[in-house]
Amino acid sequence: MCDWNPDLAQLMAGASHATRRDEAVPPQVLVVVASRFARVAWKYEAIAYALMLKNLGCLYQTMYLVATAMGLAPCALGTGNADLFSQLIGSEYYAETSIGEFTLGSVPECLADEPKQLMMEPVDWQA
């Protein structure tokens, strides 16, 4: 968490753009996941970055499941500005920077009563 400033506004505008929202209306919550590359790389060497992204995928899955169970609207973002994030938190880009972004918000009222696709009957596949 940090005070509102132009860099944070730019980061939030990028998240709004990635979710095809009006940039004047930022996401209700933006979670930026960061990693300390050297700390992971000293042990895992060549597979360090792949490992960080696999761990991020596990975190995203858990966040999606929990948010959906709570009736919230989750969205993992495939874009992000790692340079801007490292500048915003005051770290060196190659020491610690973002590897993923995730927005979270409430479901719009017009969609709140829609049937949930996750509650569909299981398909019985015949061999």
Q: What is the pLDDT of residues 42-90, one digit of tens each?
A: 999 999 999 999 999 999 999 999 999 998 999 999 888 888 888 888 8
> What's this model's pTM, rounded to 2 decimal places?
0.77
Superfamily in which the 6-107 domain is placed by CATH: NADH Oxidase (3.40.109.10)
Domains in the chain: boundaries: 6-107
Q: Are 79 and 69 in contact (CB under 8 A)?
A: no
- C-alpha span between 41 and 33 (Å, rounded): 17
